[in-house]
Amino acid sequence: MTPPSTEKIEALIDGSGEAAALLEWRAQLRAEGRKLVMTNGCFDLLHAGHVRYLAQARALGDALLVALNDDESVRGLKGPARPVNPAGDRREVIEALRSIDRVAVFRGDRVTELVAALQPDIYAKGGDYTVDSLHPGERAALEACAAEIHILPMVEGRSTSATLARLREDTPRRLRLGVLGSGSGTNLQAIFDAIDRGDLDAEVNLVLSDVADAGILRRAEKRGVPAVWVDPGPYRTKLGEAARKEMRDRLRAADVDLVLLAGFMRLVRGPLLESFSGRMLNIHPSLLPDFPGLEAWCQALKAGVSETGCTVHLVDDGMDTGPIVLQQRVPVVDGDTPATLHARIQEAEHRIYPLAVAKVAQELGLIPDADGGGSSNAGTPTPKAESP
């Protein structure tokens, strides 16, 4: 096992001179045959769930090191309003707990390099994770040093997000949207345009993509909206478990009310879908249930139909099978090519997606139903059937 260098740890943690002391402490634990337990997190609003979790982690070994995300990484992971308390305060509070032996504030989103440097005997994580949903780099570092991985149960009803939500209960706010996309982001732009026109009283708080260079990320960045690429994992048509959890956690941290899929090309399942059940929408370029799946406009042309269209629906665990919110017809005309038909369908998508968002938000009580007819005045789509 290669011993970690002082310079290596100095580059990873905040605090002048801390690396040498941390290394000396780690070497002493080894010499005494004592097991080091390591955990990490933001811990920016400490509550009873945290205290009990840390006590359980400490009981797994002989000494507990808590690696705290620095303020910059908390903002990246949890949103611009976090951390609630700065790193110095978070460290002071955690160090005061009797279960804690040492605290280190680390730089960056991931604890991978600190794990590789300190080589803990045991690694603890909360019950909202599984071994498979750990970040692949962190898991590889833990396996490389043969650390035992323990997933500890969560304390029911105790979470930072729930605490913040209770504090905000009586504070009026706009509808908060999270968006997932894989492409250029034209439907995201339609949402932005509806907001700018005053047709949709909302704000986009986070945009996530499974494609590192997707245009939707650039659109969001230009607007000043946090935009994050999430490594989708090894699968072609679905998200890996770590990606599903990371997206769920980022959307929760952004405190979004609704999640919109805008050209997102992977099936959404597991904890990501469960956390936003009934609050996740997708737009599809056909009059569902006709022509689900890829390139629906090509399917329509091949079938020889006289009209197709687009559908906004709630997301379930099937492919384009969730309850329909709103539809708009688009005629198929003589001479249509896949490109010309797709372009007209996209125009319809851009009209109805903001309307459908407002409709669902009103039905869920997230925004007022002005005069019983919603807040949008962008025009009424012609549905194939009455929207449910």
Contact 57/124 with Cβ under 8 angstroms? Answer: yes
pLDDT of 182 strictly over 90: yes
Of 158, 192, 223, which marks where a domain is finished? 158
Statement to judge: residues 64 and 191 lie in one domain? no
Residues 283 and 358 in one domain: yes
Residues 194 and 123 in one domain: no
Within-domain flag for 165: no
| 139/206 same-domain check | no
Do 151 and 57 meet the contact criterion of CB atoms below 8 Å apart?
Answer: no
Asked if residue 381 belongs to a domain, the reply is no
- The residue range of the domain holding 129 is 6-158
Look at residue 70 and tell me whether its pLDDT is greater than 80: yes
Same domain, yes or no, for 137 and 224? no
Average pLDDT of span 259-279 = 94
pLDDT digits (tens, 9 = 90+) for 291-346: 999 999 999 999 999 999 999 999 999 999 999 999 999 999 999 999 999 999 99
CATH number at residue 87: 3.40.50.620
- Look at residue 387 and tell me if it is in a domain: no
Which of 250, 207, 249, 254 has the alpha carbon at shortest distance from 227?
A: 207
Contact in structure between 46 and 72 (CB atoms under 8 Å): no
In 10 A of CB 197, how many CB atoms? 12
- Per-residue pLDDT reduced to its tens digit, 204-259: 999 999 999 999 999 999 999 999 999 999 999 999 999 999 999 999 988 899 99
Residue 4 has pLDDT above 60, yes or no: no
Using CA atoms, how far apart are residues 83 and 93, in angstroms rounded to an integer? 14
- Helices H, strands E: what count in the chain? 14, 12
At residue 351, the pLDDT reads 96
**Distance, CA of 361 to CA of 374 (rounded, Å):** 9
128 compared with 376, residue with greater pLDDT: 128
Q: How many domains does the chain have?
A: 2
Is residue 284 annotated as a catalytic residue, yes or no? yes
Q: In this structure, what are the phi and psi dihedrals at residue 284, rounded to the nearest 5 degrees?
A: -125, 140
pLDDT at 376 over 90: no
* pLDDT of 382 higher than 60: no
Q: Band of the pLDDT at 377, cuts 50, 70, 90? A: very low
Q: Are both 142 and 200 inside the same structural domain?
A: no
Classify residue 185: in a domain, yes or no: yes
* Strands lying side by side in the sheet with 63-69: 102-106, 63-69, 36-41, 122-126, 148-152
Report the candidate in 154, 158, 263 with the shortest Cα–Cα distance to residue 207. 263
Residue 10 above 90 pLDDT? no
Question: What is the predicted pLDDT for the residue at 170?
Answer: 64
Active-site hit among 50, 135, 284, 350: 284
Report the relative pairing of strands 280-284 and 307-314 from DSSP bridges. antiparallel
User: Is the separation of the CB atoms in 129 and 39 below 8 Å?
Assistant: no
Last residue of a domain, one of 133, 158, 183: 158
Kindly tell me if the per-residue pLDDT of 86 is higher than 80: yes
